């Protein structure tokens, strides 16, 4: 367990409202997810100019055409993974590192792949300052996963693609769960996939909108 993070007084009320209204109030029930969301200092993962909005329930730009997801979506996707605390998790799309930190609060190990090196370096700096020792960051094509360390108990994809990359389902352990947004630019839906030996059981959940998952098995670069 990491040392407790203190929320600055000017953001404390906003953080408490996020937990009670935006998460619990919208149906998030998993206590481990709620505890992780309460602990992680989101203000450390947003640009300085957006600090006052750190606990507003909306996505925020983090530069290089990427965003930090709204807290409710971060909590929902984390809850959908049905974590018990013992899992090795592969995250595709490190971005700011915020979702990475939430996962690291709960799970045994997180490996996170980011295609934009500058974002990965920035996330590594913040995660290191906060003391997360169970996180490994990788720069590469997230649509191909990270086969060197497969299989994974859980896979979380924080960008949308028309289809779930085959490389990712191939790296999912038997009984494992993969969660990602699937669809085009205008219409995406969060999907949860559970592997049962050679079968993939898919569940469609809620509409959403994420940035593109760019790579060999996702959207083409510059498309």
Q: How confident is the model at residue 1 (pLDDT cuts 50, 70, 90)?
A: very low
CB atoms inside a 10 Å sphere around CB 4:
7
Is pTM beyond 0.85 here?
A: yes
Known active-site residue 52: no
Reply yes or no on whether the pLDDT at 79 is more than 90: yes
Reply yes or no on whether the pLDDT at 2 is more than 80: no
Q: Give me Rg for the CA atoms of the chain.
A: 16
**Rounded distance between C-alpha atoms, residue 136 and residue 110, angstroms:** 6
Task: Retrieve residue 172's tokens.
Answer: 């999912």
Domain ranges of the chain: 9-208
Q: Which residue has the tokens 């079968």?
A: 199
- Determine how β-strand 88-92 pairs with β-strand 109-114: parallel
Q: Which residue has the tokens 């028309």?
A: 162
Average pLDDT over the chain reads 93
**Looking at 69, 96, 112, 120, which residue is catalytic?**
69
Tell me which fold the domain 9-208 belongs to: Rossmann fold (3.40.50)
């Amino acid at each position: 367990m990491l040392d407790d993070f203190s929320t600055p007084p000017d953001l404390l009320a906003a953080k408490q409202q996020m937990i009670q209204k935006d998460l619990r109030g919208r149906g998030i029930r998993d206590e481990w997810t709620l505890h992780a969301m309460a602990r992680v200092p989101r203000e450390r993962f947003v640009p300085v100019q957006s600090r006052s909005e750190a606990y507003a329930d909306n996505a925020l730009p983090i530069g290089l055409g990427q965003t930090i997801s709204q807290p409710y979506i971060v909590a929902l996707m984390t809850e959908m993974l049905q974590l018990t605390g013992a899992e090795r998790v592969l995250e595709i799309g490190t971005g700011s590192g915020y979702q990475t930190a939430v996962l690291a609060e709960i799970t045994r190990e997180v490996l996170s792949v980011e295609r934009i090196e500058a974002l990965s370096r920035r996330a590594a700096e913040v995660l290191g300052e906060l003391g997360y020792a169970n996180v490994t960051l990788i720069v590469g094509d997230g649509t191909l996963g990270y086969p060197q360390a497969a299989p994974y108990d859980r896979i979380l994809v924080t960008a949308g693609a028309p289809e779930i990359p085959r490389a990712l389902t191939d790296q999912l352990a038997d009984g494992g769960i993969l969660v990602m947004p699937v669809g085009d630019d205008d219409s995406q839906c969060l999907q949860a996939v559970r592997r049962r030996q050679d079968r993939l059981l898919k569940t469609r959940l809620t509409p959403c909108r994420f940035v593109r998952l760019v790579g060999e098995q996702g959207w083409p670069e510059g498309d």
